Amino acid sequence: MSTSPASSALILFSGGQDSTTCLAWALSRFERVETIGFRYGQRHAIEMDVRLPLRQKLVELFPHWGARLGPDVVIPLDVLGAISASALTADLPFGNRDDGLPSTFVPGRNLVFLMFAAIVAHQRGIKHIVTGVCETDYSGYPDCRDDTIKALQAAINLGMESRLVVETPLMWIDKSQTWQMAEDIGGQALVNLITENTHTCYAGDRANRHDWGFGCGACDACHLRADGWHAYRRSLTAR
Ligand code: ZN
């Protein structure tokens, strides 16, 4: 491929609302876009199952993105689930742990993901790594904070003698503004695609369809998504 590294991006793509918005954001900006996912012993495989159909639907809806979208890679990181006790990877209740962090917190997860993404990006001559982490609605995950990401970017570039850039387009916006960003990039069609085809719910529920998409409606991820959707819809009527 003759595309320059500067116009290429690797997206941490989980199949959720945030990473799908990041994928569309990248496709609207970079000439070459690849995706990476991680299998780490999630209790619910559904978020992995929606990834490839989502990529396909995106390029069907926006054919000019088809030439930009390169391969997907899934990295097996089952060891992460094996060594950490989290409600995402084991049969533990949702809620808060004794130290105040959510029980869905997998210590170091985003650090490990970004490290592996950097290795892949480095080998494939890709300059930008895009992740949907967000400090505004970060569910209490300390590895989603801007300082964490900046420190990791510095460590990666020092350790790999590289100039990779970790892009975090959602860092300072809330879930309502994430829906708005999707609308700005791809109009109502992209909002509809994200609503219908992305998966966010921690409980893996795809039986219950709400106006904001599928989910149990009770877990933290569903609450964040639903609250953001309703705030977004209110902002539309207020225009
Ligand atoms: Zn849920």
CA separation for the pair 139, 151 (Å, rounded): 20
Confidence of residue 188 (pLDDT cuts 50, 70, 90): very high
How far apart are the CA of 194 and the centre of ligand 1, in A? Answer: 16
pLDDT in tens, 137-172: 656 678 889 999 999 999 999 999 999 999 999 999
How far apart are the CA of 129 and the centre of ligand 1, in A? Answer: 28
Q: Which tokens sit at 196? A: 């219908």
Percent of the chain surpassing pLDDT 70: 88
pLDDT at 199 exceeding the cut of 50:
yes
How far apart are the CA of 175 and the centre of ligand 1, in A? Answer: 15
Q: Choose between 29 and 101: higher pLDDT.
A: 29
At residue 94, the pLDDT reads 60
How far apart are the CA of 214 and the centre of ligand 1, in A? Answer: 8
pLDDT in tens, 23-34: 999 999 999 999
Mean pLDDT of 68-72: 97
Confidence of residue 225 (pLDDT cuts 50, 70, 90): very high
At residue 50, the pLDDT reads 93
Q: Give the domain ranges of the chain.
A: 5-174
CA distances from 172 to 26, 46, 135, 168 (A): 17, 28, 6, 9
CA distances from 99 to 92, 102, 136 (A): 16, 9, 20
How far apart are the CA of 79 and the centre of ligand 1, in A? Answer: 25
At residue 99, the pLDDT reads 67
How far apart are the CA of 208 and the centre of ligand 1, in A? Answer: 10
How far apart are the CA of 144 and the centre of ligand 1, in A? Answer: 20
Cα angle, residue 13 at apex, residues 12 and 19 outer, rounded to 5°? 95
pLDDT at 95 exceeding the cut of 70:
no
pLDDT at 209 exceeding the cut of 50:
yes
pLDDT at 88 exceeding the cut of 70:
no
CA separation for the pair 27, 66 (Å, rounded): 9
Indicate the average pLDDT of the chain.
Answer: 89
Question: What one-character DSSP code corresponds to residue 162?
Answer: -
Confidence of residue 102 (pLDDT cuts 50, 70, 90): low
| Beta-sheet pairing, 32-39 with 8-12 | parallel
Mean pLDDT of 49-68: 96
How far apart are the CA of 225 and the centre of ligand 1, in A? Answer: 9
At residue 1, the pLDDT reads 47
Considering only 28-37, 125-134, 135-144, 223-232, which range has the smallest mean pLDDT?
135-144
Domain 5-174 class in CATH? alpha beta
How far apart are the CA of 222 and the centre of ligand 1, in A? Answer: 4
pLDDT at 125 exceeding the cut of 80:
yes
